[in-house]
Copies of this chain bind each other. A is one copy, B any other.
């Protein structure tokens, strides 16, 4: 289809199951090649947290976990295995709310359910944790792509999370490299020469949301998505810029 410039959001199916020690950047290179795709400067690769965690060994074997009394007490209400609850409690920097899910603030600062501990897309009796340093994970993939393909791209590590006030889950960026996650429009004018209202756009989250929406109806069955033509500012950045400090949170 010809016509005006556009953003293309291209899932790359067919990745092998990822194991500890795998080089995710290398897997992305192979996935691109298998689909006959070459990278262009400014492309964004969105990579699901699940495969990054597995490659980095951020996986816990529940058979080795002895749940605490607190975890055992919480488990029935949460409808979860007490050993998984124990892992959540260990991972959570802070528990913000404990009803039928645990709303937590992770050590990274992200507010999300269950500290990002996930039993889907990993072997039985195992859970994935969020990567320890998701920006670092993104940078490592970015470096591999530059070395192997000679192209400067941005990389986003995505997670799929619920949110306050609205139903359903959405992809968000938990790690970035090669991009500013926020696009600051302060000082720009609207069509009528007036200040814009929505002056700072969370472009990394928007790109992650777009990518996760096509990762396949099988959840994270396609954990790598190429995004071409996205609007963002190149440069150094951290997904922590997307975290609103508790003091500045407007809603809670």
Contact = CB atoms under 8 A, between A and B. Distances in A.
Nearest to A32: B3
A243 B167 contact: yes
Contact of A97 (B8, B167, B250): B250
Q: Which of A163, A171, A172 has the largest count of B CB atoms less than 10 A from its CB?
A: A163
A29 interface: no
B166 A188 contact: no
A40 to B, nearest CB: 9
A1 to B, nearest CB: 7
- Of residues A123, A206, A220, which shows the largest number of chain B Cβ atoms within 10 Å of its Cβ? A206
B10 A4 contact: yes
Majority SS at the chain A contact face: loop
A17 B191 contact: yes
A195 B122 CA distance: 11
Given A36-B3, A219-B188, A243-B166, A251 B111 contact: yes
Interface of A: 1-13, 17, 35-37, 96-97, 99-101, 103, 111, 113, 118-124, 160-172, 181-183, 185, 188-192, 194-203, 205-207, 209-210, 212-214, 217-221, 228-231, 241-244, 249-252
